A = this chain, B = another copy of it.
Amino acid sequence: MAKITKRLCTLVLRLMAVGATLLAAIVMVTSHQRTSIFGISFEVKYNHTPAFQYFVIANAIATVYGFLVIFLPSESQLWRLVVALDVVITVLLSTSISAALAIGTLGKNGNSYAGWLPICGQVPKYCDQVKGALISSFVGLIIYVLLLLYAIHTVLDPLLLRKT
């Protein structure tokens, strides 16, 4: 009974992670805004920034991986790989979030030393969408960290019990 509850918990967590990373990728891909300065119209899009492209790719990979793991039968030998792959996905998501966050913060605050002006004043809708995508992806990341902590706990505990 406790085993089924645990399996159900991890299933729900994995479904939530898939939802969060999918939402993050969609919100980032659809983020664009047309604005005009001094009569010149121009458009900002996620694919103008390498860090945001990487963010979309990382979240898409996490979504596909999370989706596939849900359908993995519980007696499969592949589960030995899932802990290792969860680590890879956690690193992938956290690097993509931190790169996008570095560029997003620059867009919001600028960097006077480098002469880079903030752009969020001109394109507030675009910046809000990027922020939303970052928050959604961060939720996905937290779920993967929880899954990892749980895996480390269940894998390490039997080893320690055997030792003592």
Which A positions have Cβ atoms within 8 angstroms of B?
A: 42, 44, 48-51, 80, 83-84, 87, 90-91, 94-103, 105-107, 111, 113-117, 119, 148-149, 152, 155-156, 158-160
- Cα A90 to Cα B94 in complex, Å, equals 10
Enumerate 14 A-B pairs (CB-CB under 8 Å) in ascending A order.
Answer: A48-B114, A51-B105, A83-B156, A87-B152, A90-B91, A95-B98, A98-B98, A98-B99, A100-B102, A107-B114, A114-B116, A116-B117, A155-B155, A158-B159
Q: Are A115 and B106 in contact (CB under 8 A)?
A: no
Known: A48-B111, A48-B114. A102 touches B103 (CB 8 A): yes
Interface hub of A90, A97, A114, A159 (most chain B Cβ within 10 A)? A114
Number of copies: 2
Residue of B nearest to A44 (CB): B113
- Cα A117 to Cα B101 in complex, Å, equals 20
Residue of B nearest to A116 (CB): B116
Least CB distance from A46 to B in Å reads 11
Beyond the given pairs A48-B111, A115-B116, A115-B119, 4 more chain A to chain B contacts, judged by CB atoms under 8 angstroms and listed by A's residue number, are A90-B91, A99-B102, A114-B119, A155-B159
A98 partner, pick from B83, B96, B115, B156, beta carbons under 8 A: B96
A101 partner, pick from B90, B99, B105, B111, beta carbons under 8 A: B99
Q: Are A80 and B48 in contact (CB under 8 A)?
A: no
Q: Are A80 and B160 in contact (CB under 8 A)?
A: yes
Q: Are A152 and B51 in contact (CB under 8 A)?
A: no
